[in-house]
Amino acid sequence: MGVRRNDNASPDPNRSETAMPYDLDEFIADCRSTLKQDPGPAGREKIRLRLEQLLKQPAFLAAHCSDETPAGLHVLHDDKELGFQILAHINEKARMSPPHDHGASWAIYGQAASYTDMIEWERTDNGGDKAELKKIKSYRLNPGQAGIYQDGAIHSIDYPDKSRFVRVTGTNLDKITRSMFDLKTGKMAQMTPQRAT
Ligand SMILES: [Fe+2]
């Protein structure tokens, strides 16, 4: 006779008892229904909060953002109808991006592991070829926290080795024109696909 399983055993210590269960499929469904109802800033804010909930789920993190997840960019969802994307950025090496925008799209960055330091910038010139940027806000996104960058917003990111985050973008950024800025010279350049995120 084998040992009988005790159904009254203590709960799995790795299981979170506080975060309400939530998974990627539910998040996708919430993004779809929210954006259909309100594609503007208020709808995006609801998505930001839902992304924070998703990033607190051990099962989601284990499946898509763990130490075993291969490094690189993983497309978790590409919405054929509404155009938004959900991307897991599994970074191996530290990186500091130049200030950049997301073109006519918005973007939400949610931290899965380690951290990302964010700086938000604003242009103080009249929109000529040589940009002048002023720092307006800087903060750190820690695991479970998400930040939102509305259409045309300029930010830069700085993260250490093995930082992992999930990004939701209003559209596939590879298909739109985006700008990045050289802080020293003010020179603007077009971004190549998925560069600087
Ligand atoms: Fe970005």
Q: How far is the CA of 147 from the centre of ligand 1 (A)?
A: 11
**pLDDT value, residue 19:** 65
**pLDDT value, residue 128:** 79
**pLDDT value, residue 28:** 98
Radius of gyration of the chain from its Cα atoms, rounded to whole angstroms: 19
Q: How far is the CA of 25 from the centre of ligand 1 (A)?
A: 24
Highest mean pLDDT of the ranges 2-6, 12-16, 178-182: 178-182
Is the model's pLDDT at 10 over the cut of 70?
no
Is the model's pLDDT at 3 over the cut of 50?
no
Q: How far is the CA of 31 from the centre of ligand 1 (A)?
A: 20
**pLDDT value, residue 16:** 47
Instruction: Give the C-alpha separation, 74 to 110, whole Å.
Output: 14
Q: How far is the CA of 156 from the centre of ligand 1 (A)?
A: 7
**pLDDT value, residue 1:** 42
Residue 55's contacts (CB-CB under 8 Å, 6 or more residues apart) are 61, 110, 111, 112, 143, 144, 145, 146, 166
Q: How far is the CA of 101 from the centre of ligand 1 (A)?
A: 6
Instruction: Report pLDDT digits (tens) over 115-151.
Output: 999 999 999 998 878 899 999 999 999 999 999 999 9
Q: How far is the CA of 100 from the centre of ligand 1 (A)?
A: 6
What average pLDDT does the chain have?
A: 90
**pLDDT value, residue 193:** 75
Instruction: Give the C-alpha separation, 95 to 191, whole Å.
Output: 16
**pLDDT value, residue 6:** 43
